Structure 1
């Protein structure tokens, strides 16, 4: 596989990972609000009906992942578009991507669009899993552990419950190969409609120091994004 294809494989893995970190569930609750497990169950039920969303991913510290940032739009049928920044040999690399059906289109800072069958660049996963209620985010919400409501906070201008939970390694590893342990996370669930608006996941450091952080935000639920293949 060429270096460009390898980068896109990492990109798509991250896009899924991104998506996956939104999830958590199970457990009881303390503090101001319903039990954490109940809130995340409600969020999973709402997510089953979501047909599209947008998300951003940002990292801080030195988390042991290659992705640095992602901005993407995703449809339930698996089509997606956006950009991702990854590191390779210590250097930042920016890639734009569009996934239409079983075809992945990608472009670096120089050169035009390339395309490959999604099966070649996606490796062991299918991007359509992200909003598939039997895989992806819904299952991540349903398989987290020890969910605990920590109280109410404002996020993106909305009143939210902040829920702390442990993301199950088994669920994460189905979408992000190489996860070696469960990961603690905070999840912000809107009071009004039970959408997951934000997740902060603690990730081990590359150098064994202080853990890094991956912050994912979600918006544009149900927005009809016009995702089309790029012009050649």
Structure 2
């Protein structure tokens, strides 16, 4: 082989080697570490103005609220429905949380009122976006977070993260949780906002999802 061909072959081999190295470095840089990701997500959740949320159970986890769905804004006003286990029977409650007053009704009868603190003893949706209680604190205090991969959640690209989540913080959002949970979180790759949380526990699991971030939410009291 001529010296010219040897030189060309060496240059080509070097270019392929550099391309391979730069590709690996780019891939590594594109995926944040677990601690970096949950901290970035906590910061992103601090700026959320509103969201739609769902909470549902699979199996028989030891929580009183079996299902919830609604809308919430950063001031703490919310509306939606809650399905509560009352001595083995499921009771669905429609609610409108406006200021310090909750307007609610069951399957029959008209609307009644209770205080925000009374609702909080059952389920407090306003805690979700409260930066001192809810998702922000859950993410900020997540232990040993690890990025396990990438998935789509309802068509949105997300990182899947495993972490140990504080019982004390979780219980403000999901009353009845009595221990820390080794859960899974899905974080939007673009916005860093939390899309989903899977919370396994004795007897089953609780799944919480979020969407419609920053879609305006104006909650008004229902007509009597």
Q: Same fold (TM over 0.5)?
A: yes
Q: Is the 8 A contact 1:33 1:152 kept in 2?
A: no
Whether contact under 8 Å (2:72, 2:125) holds in the other structure is no
* Larger helix share, 1 or 2: 2
Quote the residue 2:196 is aligned against. Answer: 198
Distance 1:72 1:184 in 2: 26
Q: Which has the higher contact order (CA 8 A, sep 6+)?
A: 1
Once the two structures are superposed, the pairs formed by residues 1-232 of structure 1 within 5 Å of their partners are 33-123=31-121, 128-173=126-171, 179-205=177-203, 212-232=204-224
Distance 1:226 1:75 in 2: 8
1:179, CA displacement in angstroms?
Answer: 3.6
**RMSD of the TM alignment (CA)?**
2.1
| Structure 1: segments with no counterpart, 5+ residues | 1-29, 206-211
Deviates more, 1:95-104 or 1:167-176: 167-176
Partner SS state of residue 74, structure 1 = strand
Question: What TM-score do the two structures reach when normalised by structure 2?
Answer: 0.81
Larger Rg: 2
Task: Decide whether aligned partners of structure 1 residues 49 and 150 sit closer, same or farther in structure 2, where only a CA change above 3 A counts.
Answer: same
Secondary structure at 1:84's aligned position in 2? strand
Instruction: For structure 2, list consecutive stretches of 5 or more residues without a partner in the other structure.
Output: 1-27
- Secondary structure at the counterpart of residue 116 of structure 1: strand
Aligned residue pairs: how many?
Answer: 196
Q: Distance in 2 between matches of 1:177 and 1:198?
A: 18
Determine the C-alpha separation between the residues in 1 that align with 2:146 and 2:195: 17
